[in-house]
Amino acid sequence: MRTVEGGRVPIRMWADPDSIEDAALGQLRNASNLPWIHGVAVMPDVHYGKGATVGSVLAMRDAVSPAAVGVDIGCGMSAVRTSLTAADLPDDLGRLRRRIESAVPVGFAMHETPVNPDRVPGTGGWDDFWARFAELHPDVQSLRERARRQIGSLGGGNHFIEVCLEQGGEDAGRVWLMLHSGSRGIGNELAKRHIDAARGLPHNADLPDPDLAVFVADTPEMAAYRGDLFWAQEYAARNRATMVALVQSALAEVVPGTRFDEPISCHHNYVAEETFDGVDVLVTRKGAIRAGSGEMGIIPGSMGTGSYIVRGLGNPESFRSASHGAGRRMSRRKAKKTFSADDLAAQTAGVECRKDGAVVDEIPSAYKDIDAVIRAQRDLVEVVAQLKQVVCVKG
């Protein structure tokens, strides 16, 4: 870990400062100068993001910046170890992929036949969950409808569902399911409203970047944000749990008798109330996971390079956090200009997945080297399993 001094608190870096874009460094400096700041930790997958970098952790006293959570509140990963090994999978992985694609609605669109979560085994408490949203937004029927229609759906972009094989070790060939998704349109809508609301507050008038605006404790704006935030985080967790159940059923249809361990689930865009050195802080992890001692986490690489299941080492220096992925090395626009569908096909050889021009921005070369990112955080997490996908369903 290196530190960069100069702000109210040092910036603790698990990334090479020379490899970080100037714009991202500027954002980290802005964060380290906030009056409420208690600490800043920078993960090896860091890159520029709106208002605050992706791949960073901010700990603040009595304040929270909604842009430092990100617009997909509660976005994160789930993973499940199955009873299968590679030999149990069908030769025709296309069939398995199509089965998953018909079990889970994917893409940005509103879905014709929404998932009814009441019928999905393993999840419950929906009535109370929807009632809590109705209490937060009594007048806005349309928001409630949207939230209900999109539960159990993947979303677009880099949200994905994968069937993976464990690499090396005693359990080589073990089949895992993995899934990346968040709080869909409803979380995005709520996040944007609050980011806009924060910009207009007088205590944010002198910020160098208006997008880093914060809510402060004991204000109605903070109370409204917290209500929506914690509800949307639960929505994201429920969304992933619903899809995990659907994907498990899809796999069990293709390979009858498949059994599943308890899923691992971790948010990587969220807020938690935690205590460090006796100080109560609001910790925002934007493109970062919690890596408390013994806590399981998931660090995905890209659609062609596989992923890691990790266990946290509880290092307080990073505010018990680790990276959320490999992180982008190239913007979506640049990736589309630089690479072709043929390049994508070459980089995803052996993976049953989309290889058309519309997903070229997700090409593995657009992401950092996941193995290097894992090596850079050896004092934050230990590797439990290395996975490589054989099926990848993109949103």
In the complex, which residues of this chain contact ligand 5GP (CB under 6 A)? 45, 54, 75, 158, 160, 162, 268, 287, 300-303, 307, 324-327, 362, 367, 389, 392
Nearer to ligand 5GP, 40 or 390 (CB): 390
Structure tokens at 251: 């796999």
Select 42 or 75, whichever has its Cβ closest to Mn ion. Answer: 75
Nearest of 388, 382, 320 to residue 348 by alpha carbon: 388
Work out what residue 158 binds among Mn ion, ligand 5GP, none; the CB cut-off runs from 5 to 8 Å by kind.
ligand 5GP
Q: How far apart are CA 51 and CA 69, in angstroms?
A: 10
Helix, strand or coil, per DSSP, at residue 270: strand
362 contacts Mn ion (rule: CB under 5 A): no
Instruction: Answer with the entry of Mn ion, ligand 5GP, none that 307 interacts with (C-beta below 5 to 8 A by kind).
Output: ligand 5GP
- Least distance from Mn ion to the Cβ atom of residue 268, Å: 6
Q: How far apart are alpha carbons 30 and 40 in whole angstroms?
A: 11
The 71-90 contact track toward Mn ion, x by CB under 5 A, reads: -x--x---------------
What distance in Å separates the CA atoms of residue 197 and residue 348, rounded to the nearest whole number? 42
- Among 58-66, 174-182, 233-241, 291-299, the segment contacting Mn ion (CB under 5 A): 174-182
Q: Is residue 69 a contact partner of residue 190, using CB atoms and an 8 Å limit?
A: no
Decide if residue 352 touches Mn ion (CB under 5 A). no
Radius of gyration over every alpha carbon of the chain, rounded to an integer in angstroms:
20
Q: Which of residues 74, 117, 182, 187 is near Mn ion by CB under 5 A?
A: 182
Q: Where are the alpha helices (DSSP H) in the chain?
A: 22-32, 93-103, 126-136, 141-150, 184-199, 220-254, 332-338, 341-347, 370-375
Burial 119-130 (b: 16+ CB within 10 A, else e): ebeebeebeebe
- The DSSP symbol for 258 reads -
Q: Mask: binding to Mn ion, 265-294, rule CB under 5 A, as x and -?
A: ------------------------------
Q: Give the residue with the Cβ less far from Mn ion, 81 or 328.
A: 328
Q: Which residues are part of the catalytic machinery?
A: 324
- Residue 98 beta carbon to Mn ion: minimum distance, rounded to whole angstroms: 24
- CB of 160 vs ligand 5GP, minimal distance in Å: 4
DSSP characters for 4-17?
Answer: E-SSSSPEEESS-G
Pairing outcome for strands 160-167 and 381-394: antiparallel
Residue 281 beta carbon to Mn ion: minimum distance, rounded to whole angstroms: 23
Q: Whose Cβ is closer to Mn ion: residue 34's or residue 310's?
A: 310
Shortest distance (Å) from residue 300 CB to ligand 5GP: 3
Residues that bind Mn ion (CB under 5 A): 72, 75, 182
